[in-house]
Amino acid sequence: MRKPRLVMLGTGDFAVPTFLALCEPAARVEVLALVTQPSRPRGRKQEILPAPILVAARDRGIPVLQPESINDAESIDQLRELDADLLITAAYGQILSAEVLGASRLGGLNLHGSLLPAYRGAAPVARAIQRGEVQTGVTVIQMNPRVDAGGMLLSASTTIDPDETAGELEERLARLGAPLVVQAVHGLMDGTLSAQIQDQSKVSKAPKLTSEDGQIDWNQSAAAIHNLVRAMQPRHAAWTERPALKPGQPAARLIVHRTRRTESPVSPPGIPPGGVLDGGPGRLLVATGDGVLELVTVQTPGKKPMSAAEYLRGHPMFAGHRLGSSS
């Protein structure tokens, strides 16, 4: 029996473990090509650097296609010429049309970073953390033109660590899902797997996060702010305004990378949300709408992240200062 013939569509780091797993001889598949987004400027220096999945494909001698749109006629013709049994997608970054899915014999499989039908959309990992979920997982689905709405083939769950960032969790989920994709390919090819329809009553959405989503509202609880900080890492970052160092100067932005929930269940009386507390040398404690939060790692725009202790040496703040306010 010949090996399943696959085309992988992936761009982000979440796709890399799946691609590598499919390239292993033990997977018993043939990867015909990688389709990935065009390389674009990245980072502070805006350098055009190849994504890790692109480097992995070149190292293995696998042909690479980088169309601006996978849904245009030329791209669809290229897929048809590859004569694949299945398209495999993970963190590709474009929605596949019905014509694209029809370019392979059995359509497409997608690895999604949630336990569907919860958290359909572009940011399932970040949104799960933001909303305080304690468990999540991955799901392999048969694709259809509706976003993340296809039939479910396999899934696996995991517990979310209370201090885990979206980037850290996404890395774990990518590794968790990779062997499931290999298993799903063979199960679909030999007829031992059948798709389960998603329960529409349990659907929730996970829209992409933006930098504006990272603005901290200190009226929220310490738990909610801690979750926001975790959710914004590493693609964006949570942030707040800090008071000016000297009279007449404008307020400055303070980027918050890591926080720690304290044992204080409620904010001290008389301290408004965002108020800085006296936590002792090198500690930056802030009152919230419910509880006290410690800022652990922070950053001034244009500088490197640093500990709160390092930051306070150059940007002193005292009890009575208030974050999120120009006062």
Q: Quick one: tokens of 60?
A: 């293995």
Kindly state the average pLDDT of the residues 242-250: 74
User: 262 near 291, Cβ under 8 Å?
Assistant: yes
| pLDDT at residue number 266 | 66
Q: Which residue has the tokens 């990518």?
A: 174
Residues 6+ apart with CB under 8 A from 42: 48, 49
Confidence (pLDDT) at 274:
95
Write the pLDDT tens digit of every residue in 11-28.
999 999 999 999 999 999
**Is a pLDDT exceeding 60 seen at residue 327?**
no
- Is residue 8 scored above 60 in pLDDT? yes
Cα 35 off chain centre by? 20
Q: Does 258 have pLDDT greater than 80?
A: yes
Q: What is the pLDDT of residues 172-217, one digit of tens each?
A: 999 999 999 999 999 999 999 999 999 999 999 999 999 999 999 9
35: tokens are 């389709």
Mean pLDDT of 301-305: 93
What's the whole-number average pLDDT of the chain? 93
From CA 57, how far away is CA 78, in angstroms rounded? 18
Q: What pLDDT digit, counting tens, does each position of 74-103 carry?
A: 999 999 999 999 999 999 999 999 999 999
The total number of residues shown for the chain amounts to 327
Q: Judge whether residue 43 has pLDDT over 80.
A: no
Which pLDDT value is given to residue 114?
Answer: 98
Q: What is the mean pLDDT of residues 300-304?
A: 92
- The 3-state secondary structure of the chain reads CCCCEEEEEECCHHHHHHHHHHHCHHHCCEEEEEECCCCCEECCCCEECCCHHHHHHHHCCCCEECCCCCCCHHHHHHHHHHCCCEEEEECCCCCCCHHHHCCCCCCEEEEECCCCCCCECCCHHHHHHHCCCCEEEEEEEECCCCCCCCCEEEEEEEECCCCCCHHHHHHHHHHHHHHHHHHHHHHHHCCCCCCECCCHHHCCECCCCCHHHHECCCCCEHHHHHHHHHHCCCCCCEEEEECCCCCCCCCEEEEEEEEEECCCCCCCCCCCCCEEECCCCCCEEEECCECEEEEEEEECCCCCCEEHHHHHHHCCCCECEECCCCC
**CA distance linking residue 14 with residue 8, whole number of Å:** 13
Q: Mean pLDDT throughout 42-63?
A: 88
